[in-house]
Amino acid sequence: MILLRFFAILTAVCLAVPTVAQPLAKQLFGAQKVGSNQKAAAFGSYSRGCAAGSVQLPETGPTWQAMRLSRNRNWGHPQTIDYVQDLSKFAARQPGWSGLYIGDISQPRGGPMTSGHRSHQLGLDIDIWMLPADNLRLSRNARENISSISLRRSNGAYVNGNWTKQHHAILREAAKDKRVARIFVFPGAKVEMCKEETGNRAYLRKIRPWWGHHYHFHVRLKCPRGSRGCINQDPPPKGDGCAEAQQWVQNILNPPPPDPNAPAPKKRGEYRLADLPQQCASVLQSN
């Protein structure tokens, strides 16, 4: 109770002082240990927002285990938690898999993270390990030290020998869910799925190539119904996206020359509470 009062006072002070003097938003949200006592809602965008009424994915379930528990990032919108449980049941039916190892979802109240992700701020992003979850009795200590496996070779242009039909099946099932906006995976995996798929290819539109994402794939859910103030990402371009993924691969294998007229990349600033949607102040203040 004393800690909650402290953060309520701190939040009020933040809103009353100039932005440059405010603590960083990642410090405020990173200090929260539990979700807010509010109706579940997402405010803002995936990379600039917060989450009210988040619930915690149980550390261990019949078909999943949450990893890196010390981070306290196994929190999300109730719809996110339902999605994880549904997909893990499918994974448990695949040869060699007992379910899923779940990486970061979000902090208890979303918001900017103290380290790592730029997104994962709404409780609607999920990192799912590529390592087959064949042991769902891992200790807390083991979950801090075990690592996932990489599925890429040639810096992401191709899959390696760790890629299996089960990875394809799980990614397909993950993308077919209507709650999903898109899934990020390294370019070589998308190209391999395009080559292997012989059935309905519509779901491939949601599988999007992105740097990294070879130790895990990243599921992004749509804004839940009724979450006013939640900003969806623009839908993926029409089509299966296979030609685009192939172009990523070509650019990895034969990098195009740098554009001499390209503007210098802008350094990303750190968000303060005032930079986030106004509802985020009440998320911090809530018991």
pLDDT tens track for 133-144? 999 999 999 999
**Residue 145 CB burial class (10 angstroms; 0-12, 13-18, ≥19):** exposed
Residue pair 77/149 in contact by the 8 Å Cβ criterion: no
Q: Which 3 state secondary structure label does DSSP give 197?
A: coil
Residue 53 lies in a domain: yes
CATH number at residue 227: 3.30.1380.10
Distance CA 111, CA 277 (A): 10
pLDDT at residue number 1: 46
pLDDT at residue number 261: 83
Distance CA 285, CA 19 (A): 18
More confident position, 25 or 269: 25
pLDDT at residue number 231: 97
Instruction: List pLDDT tens digits, range 97-131.
Output: 999 999 999 999 999 999 878 899 999 999 999 99
* Tokens 């350094």, located at residue: 267
Residue 249 lies in a domain: yes
pLDDT band at 89 (very low <50, low <70, confident <90, very high): very high
Per-residue pLDDT, averaged over 189-198, amounts to 97
Residue 243 lies in a domain: yes
Instruction: Determine the structural domain holding residue 64 and report its residue range.
Output: 2-254+270-285
* Predicted confidence (pLDDT) at residue 4 exceeds the cutoff of 70: no
pLDDT at residue number 20: 57
pLDDT at residue number 259: 84
More confident position, 17 or 65: 65
pLDDT at residue number 263: 85
pLDDT at residue number 18: 52
Residue 175 lies in a domain: yes
* Predicted confidence (pLDDT) at residue 9 exceeds the cutoff of 50: no
pLDDT at residue number 133: 98
Q: How far is CA 174 from CA 11, 121, 178, 212, in A?
A: 38, 20, 9, 19
List, as one string, the DSSP characters of 42-53.
EEEETTEEEEES
Residue 262 lies in a domain: no
Residue 237 lies in a domain: yes
Question: How many distinct structural domains can be found in the chain?
Answer: 1
* Tokens 């064949």, located at residue: 134
Distance CA 276, CA 280 (A): 7
Residue 259 lies in a domain: no
Residue 81 lies in a domain: yes
Residue 50, strand partner residues? 43
Residue type present at position 219? V
pLDDT at residue number 2: 42
pLDDT > 90 fraction of the chain, expressed in percent and rounded: 83
* Predicted confidence (pLDDT) at residue 50 exceeds the cutoff of 50: yes
Q: How far is CA 100 from CA 82, 171, 204, in A?
A: 14, 12, 21
